[in-house]
Structure 1
Amino acid sequence: MPSPGPIVKSEIPWLWERARREPDKLALLCGNEALSFAQLAERAELAGARLAGLGVRPGDRVALLMDSSVRTVELIHAAQRIGAALVPLNTRLAPPEIEALIRAARPRVVIHDPVYRGWLKDAASVTACLVESESGFESLKPAALEKLAPIRPDAVHTIIFTSGTTGTPKGAMLTNANHFASASAARENVGAEPFDRWLDFLPLYHVGGLSIILRSVIDGATVILHRGFDPHRANLAIRTHAVTLFSVVATMLARMLDDNGDEPYPPSLRCVLVGGGPVAPALVERAIRLGVPVAPTYGLTETASQVATARPEEVRLRGASCGRPLPGVSIRIENPDAAGRGEVLVSAPSVMAGYFRDEDATRAAIRQGWLHTGDIGHFDEEGCLHIDDRRSDLIVTGGENVYPAEVEAVLLAHPMVAEAGVYGLSDPLWGHRVEAAVVLRNAGSVGEAELRQWCSERLARFKVPKMIRFVGSLPRTASGKVRRGMLRREASGFKP
């Protein structure tokens, strides 16, 4: 029997290779269900046979409109087993948006949770088959599958539609080789231990949540899967299940720390990846005080997750950055300004094959082997990457550049501020003016004048928001990024 440990080369689908190596090891714990790798492979084999019975063939697309569940995990692995491309759909979108993505992807089948049945009433006109994920899927007649065969590295494993902070979502085509390279590079940075347990509460239609499912079978880790995010439940799972790793966006981490109080986190927790955009230094410092081994990371859908990640020990010594590029990843800054800030370009084996049926967008994004991310960043003297902002969110006011994330970090450092979003609005005098939307921890605990004074003591005058609105929540993408374009549109009609 092959030895346990990370898979460094595999010809057959990864779950089946892991089941050969460690059939009895716990693979997945979700609610009251616990499956070994052998049991999960058996379930995924049946799911693949049922897909084949529907006529799904290699290269066909299988769309999932499903929340995180054992069935979702089965289907993720089943798609690779039969050579189909998975199209996970964002369940937070509105029905017309879902229909638009289905129309763009043209899947052979859409498998959906019962709760989303009503969302798909118009989707039947653009896809061959709609199947409910529970009793409907279980009633399908399975077809005989061919013997396990080598997977093609260049075959498309997943088409993930970008979260779309600007413009129309595009379908990033991620191959088997892309996902495998991403998992391998991440392992070189944070390591892989035989006792590792990944807590996964990120949605599986997001590359952050999906990558944990794939990485776990490649590295041999157990996944503790939650259907959604609840800070108290997440904190409880960390202690109950000896969780060693989890991935999170900054707002989720802040809510977990609020729920946790002053109790230190257990030493079994060895790494917490924090992504989804720049991480405020105040949040990093707060987490470290509670013993959370935070590791800010930078990644994209188009790179199958991380391309740069700090190590927890580096964060404790040097503060927040995204760390150095992962092994095998090259990152450079194009056209840097006097401060060294410019567009972040990435070259790596994990860079997508392109955007699905969108050659123009692919040519614009990948040029001469470099992915143009649209993000603004810089390297510090230690060679660590810092992400300053999205290029499209840069505010130019009176000829000066203002990076919203920098202003947000100052606002978030105020003890009464829970969330902050900064954006620019057109101004006849300055070109654009800086404004902000803020969620307070306690309503009425601080006023606009006090927050503007707080900012003026810590920022150049031109960076201080001219107006601060108090709101109940901020609009965010599935990956947790603030939708600044939506804030701009809301503010355009706001009357103080």
Structure 2
Amino acid sequence: MSWLQNQVNQNPEKLFIQFGDNQFSYLDIAEMVQTYSRSLLRENIQPQDRILIYLPSGVELIEIILACFEIGAVAAPISPKLTEGERNVIIDKIQPKLIITNWNQKLPDFPSPIPVSCIEELPNASSGCSVIKNDYIYNSDDITAIILTSGTTGIPKAVQLTYGNFEASCNNWNEFLQFQSNDQFLCCLPLHHIGGLAVMLRALMFGFSVNLVSTFEAKLVLDTIIKYPVSIISLVPTMLKRILDLEGGLKAIKSLRWILLGGGPSPEYLLDLCIKEKLNIVKVYGMSETCSGTVGLKLLDEPQNKLYAGRPFNGAKIWTENNELYISGPMVMKGYVGEAATNGHHNSHDLGQVDNGNLVFLDIRRKDLIITGGENVNPLEVEEALLQIEGITDAAVIGVEDVEWGEKVVAYIVNSEFGIRNSEFRMKLKGRISDFKIPKEFIQVSSIPRNELGKIVYEKLREHQD
């Protein structure tokens, strides 16, 4: 029995998804999932066939993903914001049997050998006189989804996740947070990203509801928290800061039972604010390859460990080799598409340490370190120092090849106080960070390029330098 069928049997009329003012029970979703499942079977989709889903975050995307789950097909949702070139590279890599999109998204330049179906037409395809039987039986080792890594530094990789991966991850999160049947989890992360999809599957397994916001806008998220009985939210640090900067933002965030904070390092000043205001922050470390977070820390329980990522969940083992963090456990992906299986082990390529208390300290990816004049510079440290300067609302730091220094530190900043000279920024950084870490160049921009998760897209900054 599938996770969806189990909830329908137990709580058919219970709220599953709140989407704006529209409500969908488990039964509502199940009826559409069955319709789409029949359509896919009529398209001769077999277990483990790959379905590329090119739809915006919304209820229809959830229904199509769950329809794939019902018949054992592999759901591969991708962002509709990808460029034509990016999309075609991914399609070529995944080699789907079918592409599902909608009338608005359908483009004439999809690779021609691959059939394309529009979701508006799928219900018609499910009708007919012949009986279509779904014989698929769940197998924990079967691949159920292909999720793309966030791709902030290049072409994203295609991560293959199994039913067993999702089950292990969801169970770990339930053990850590103790989900309640009346919880409402506000999901403002994209559903084609592991952070969004994992929220849906946790709700499906444990019977709480999801308030779905299709795209992150700080004011919209704030209004949603105020209007609806939201108890849990998952954010990246940039998102949290933007909500807290709004009038009423702190009060709204304080009302939540849990605030999951992941997707990148959290600035110390932000963590200090959360501790001071007694916000129920759960620091999270994980990735697509580990089926979402696999390390956690409840900030108010141990504020003295605020700079640590947390401790591994049950079944997860983390160790270091050459200062890089390795992760093993039942939540670790089966492997990347087109590459060898991982056998439950993954090299994160993040630098870090694990102390005697099993606390994980996360540093930075080795390739992101800037080596200038023989000194190592962590760009995240410089970014945090910049963000504490009055007037700087956003910042990103990269290393640029330089004849004299090997690499020079370059800062891109969004500055709300016009007329400030670069020399003044240097003076304001003195005493905050060592002199060799102070950027040699400051470039003032109107915005820092970020992806849908709010992560800085450093590759675009490097392209700016070329």
Does structure 1 retain, via aligned residues, the 8 Å contact 2:42–2:132?
Answer: no
- C-alpha displacement of 1:419: 1.7
Structure 2 equivalent of residue 265 of structure 1 = 252
Q: Distance in 1 between matches of 2:254 and 2:372?
A: 47
After superposition, where does 1:350-389 map in structure 2 within 5 Å? 350-359=331-340, 366=342, 370-379=345-354, 383-389=358-364
2:438 matches 1:449? no
How many equivalent pairs are there?
464
Does structure 2 retain, via aligned residues, the 8 Å contact 1:88–1:159?
Answer: yes
Cα deviation digits, residues 432-455 of structure 1 (max 9, x gap): 121111123x24175422322232
Paired residue secondary structure (1:56):
coil
Letter in 2 for 1:343: E
Paired residue secondary structure (1:411):
helix
Structure 2: tracts of 5 or more residues without a match: none
Cα deviation digits, residues 143-194 of structure 1 (max 9, x gap): 7453675311011111112222334322110011111111111222222112
**Match of residue 140, structure 1, among 122, 125, 132:** 125
Structure 2 equivalent of residue 458 of structure 1 = 432
Q: Distance in 1 between matches of 2:377 and 2:440?
A: 13
Letter in 1 for 2:313: L
After superposition, where does 1:159-178 map in structure 2 within 5 Å? 159-178=146-165
Cα deviation digits, residues 33-64 of structure 1 (max 9, x gap): 21211222222111111111222111111111
TM-score, normalised relative to structure 2 = 0.93
Q: Distance in 2 between matches of 1:141 and 1:369?
A: 38
Q: Distance in 2 between matches of 1:221 and 1:148?
A: 29
Q: Distance in 2 between matches of 1:61 and 1:375?
A: 30
Letter in 2 for 1:355: Y
**Match of residue 286, structure 1, among 273, 291, 311:** 273
Report the CA distance shift for 1:312/1:444 in structure 2 as closer, same or farther (over 3 A).
same
Letter in 1 for 2:459: G
Q: Distance in 1 between matches of 2:10 and 2:202?
A: 15
Structure 2 equivalent of residue 190 of structure 1 = 177
Structure 2 equivalent of residue 96 of structure 1 = 85
Letter in 2 for 1:34: Q
Does structure 1 retain, via aligned residues, the 8 Å contact 2:317–2:328?
Answer: yes
Q: Distance in 1 between matches of 2:132 and 2:199?
A: 27
2:42 matches 1:61? no
Paired residue secondary structure (1:357):
coil
Cα deviation digits, residues 408-428 of structure 1 (max 9, x gap): 121122232222111111122
What is the CA RMSD across the aligned residues, in angstroms?
A: 2.1
After superposition, where does 1:367-446 map in structure 2 within 5 Å? 370-379=345-354, 383-440=358-415, 442-444=416-418, 446=420
Q: State the identity as a percent.
A: 32
- C-alpha displacement of 1:379: 3.8
Structure 2 equivalent of residue 16 of structure 1 = 5
Report the CA distance shift for 1:78/1:453 in structure 2 as closer, same or farther (over 3 A).
same
Paired residue secondary structure (1:198):
strand
Paired residue secondary structure (1:114):
coil
Cα deviation digits, residues 65-99 of structure 1 (max 9, x gap): 11111111111111110000001112221122112
After superposition, where does 1:212-251 map in structure 2 within 5 Å? 212-251=199-238
Structure 1 equivalent of residue 445 of structure 2 = 471
Paired residue secondary structure (1:310):
strand
- C-alpha displacement of 1:28: 0.8
Structure 2 equivalent of residue 84 of structure 1 = 73
Report the CA distance shift for 1:45/1:445 in structure 2 as closer, same or farther (over 3 A).
farther
Structure 1: tracts of 5 or more residues without a match: 1-11, 336-341
2:98 matches 1:123? no
Does structure 2 retain, via aligned residues, the 8 Å contact 1:249–1:479?
Answer: yes
Paired residue secondary structure (2:301):
helix
**Match of residue 152, structure 1, among 129, 139, 146:** 139
Letter in 2 for 1:372: N
Does structure 1 retain, via aligned residues, the 8 Å contact 2:71–2:136?
Answer: no
Greater mean alpha carbon deviation, residues 12-21 or residues 203-212? 12-21
Report the CA distance shift for 1:255/1:124 in structure 2 as closer, same or farther (over 3 A).
same
Report the CA distance shift for 1:435/1:108 in structure 2 as closer, same or farther (over 3 A).
same
Q: Distance in 2 between matches of 1:142 and 1:443?
A: 62
- C-alpha displacement of 1:218: 0.8
Paired residue secondary structure (1:292):
coil
Cα deviation digits, residues 383-430 of structure 1 (max 9, x gap): 432322222111112222111112112112223222211111112222
After superposition, where does 1:18-33 map in structure 2 within 5 Å? 18-33=7-22
Paired residue secondary structure (2:285):
strand
Q: Distance in 2 between matches of 1:417 and 1:379?
A: 34
Cα deviation digits, residues 323-369 of structure 1 (max 9, x gap): 1111211111222xxxxxx211111111111111233xx6xxx4x75
Does structure 1 retain, via aligned residues, the 8 Å contact 2:88–2:110?
Answer: yes
Report the CA distance shift for 1:92/1:328 in structure 2 as closer, same or farther (over 3 A).
same
Does structure 1 retain, via aligned residues, the 8 Å contact 2:290–2:333?
Answer: yes
- C-alpha displacement of 1:141: 2.8
Q: Distance in 2 between matches of 1:238 and 1:190?
A: 19
Q: Distance in 2 between matches of 1:396 and 1:469?
A: 20
Does structure 1 retain, via aligned residues, the 8 Å contact 2:449–2:460?
Answer: yes
Structure 2 equivalent of residue 6 of structure 1 = none
2:98 matches 1:109? yes
Paired residue secondary structure (2:332):
coil
Letter in 1 for 2:124: S
